Amino acid sequence: MNLGIGPNRKVFFLKRFYHPRFKDMLFAFRNFGRFCSQAEYEWENANLLLDKGIGTYRLVCYGEQMKCGLERKSFFVTEQLQSQHFADFVAQNWSQLTWSQKENIIVALAKLIRKVHDEAIRLPDLYVWHIFIEEDEVPGEYDFAFIDLHRMGRSVKSPNKKIEDLGRLYWSMSDKYFDDKLKDLFVRAYMGDDWMGSKAALIRTIQRRVNVLAKRRKLRYY
């Protein structure tokens, strides 16, 4: 949706939910403590990330139609992010970046995901195409935003669930752009200095998830 013209023009995106499956409603109930619409759940998830200083949607509004306390349909409106789709950024710029620039991006992303997990939050839809990137005011530094939050988990204690997030992202990091050296750097940056366990064990666990995804899904081209 577009409003205004010229420099005052703003772009908005509308996400609709129709007759959600009961398992999706139950998932929201388990994470939120009550039945709510998919739009409200995603709205609250976005606000939670923002409260934690983690980038996500520019929120506008949501609406819902409920019957007997259960959702029939709902919608969620956001303003266009000023940052760039990470998959597009990689496709357009990766070959021109220096190793130092790639390193800064990978390390910053890994540390942010570790911060998300340390907040007991997980992102089951953590793929390259669900991330946006923007260069910080400090040259060479980057900020990120996560989208598609309707399956986001709250108060997640299980390390295995969080590592599943890493497996999805790892799988979506195309070998065309992300070689083994960069992926290894990503894992080391995620672990930091306080990880209880070995890097080799973590990589094996991530790779098992990658192998499962590779059998079920075809990697998107970007």
**Which pLDDT value is given to residue 211?**
94
Sheet arrangement for strand 58-67 = 2-3, 10-18, 70-79, 58-67
10 Å CB burial of residue 206 (0-12, 13-18, 19+) is buried
Contact 120, 156 (CB under 8 A): yes
- At 27, the pLDDT band (50, 70, 90 cuts) reads confident
> For the chain, how many residues are written?
222
- At 162, the pLDDT band (50, 70, 90 cuts) reads very high
- Over residues 65-84, mean pLDDT: 92
- The percent of residues above 70 in pLDDT, for the chain, comes to 100
**Which pLDDT value is given to residue 139?**
77
Residues 6+ apart with CB under 8 A from 47: 59
User: Domain ranges in the chain?
Assistant: 12-79, 84-216
Separation of alpha carbons 63 and 78, rounded Å: 12
Q: What is the per-residue pLDDT across 83-92, written as a single tens digit (0 to 9) for each?
A: 999 999 999 9
End-to-end CA gap in the chain: 25
**Which pLDDT value is given to residue 30?**
86
- At 19, the pLDDT band (50, 70, 90 cuts) reads confident
Separation of alpha carbons 127 and 173, rounded Å: 8
- The percent of residues above 90 in pLDDT, for the chain, comes to 77
Contact 41, 110 (CB under 8 A): no
CATH of 84-216, picked from 2.30.29, 3.30.460, 3.30.1360, 1.10.510, is 1.10.510
Tokens of 132: 């946006």
Q: Give the residue with greater pLDDT, 111 vs 6.
A: 111
**Which pLDDT value is given to residue 217?**
87
Separation of alpha carbons 17 and 75, rounded Å: 6
Residue 143 clears pLDDT 90, i.e. is over it = yes
pTM above 0.95, yes or no: no
The whole-chain average pLDDT of the chain stands at 93
Q: What is the per-residue pLDDT across 164-222, written as a single tens digit (0 to 9) for each?
A: 999 999 999 999 999 999 999 999 999 999 998 899 999 999 999 999 999 998 888 88
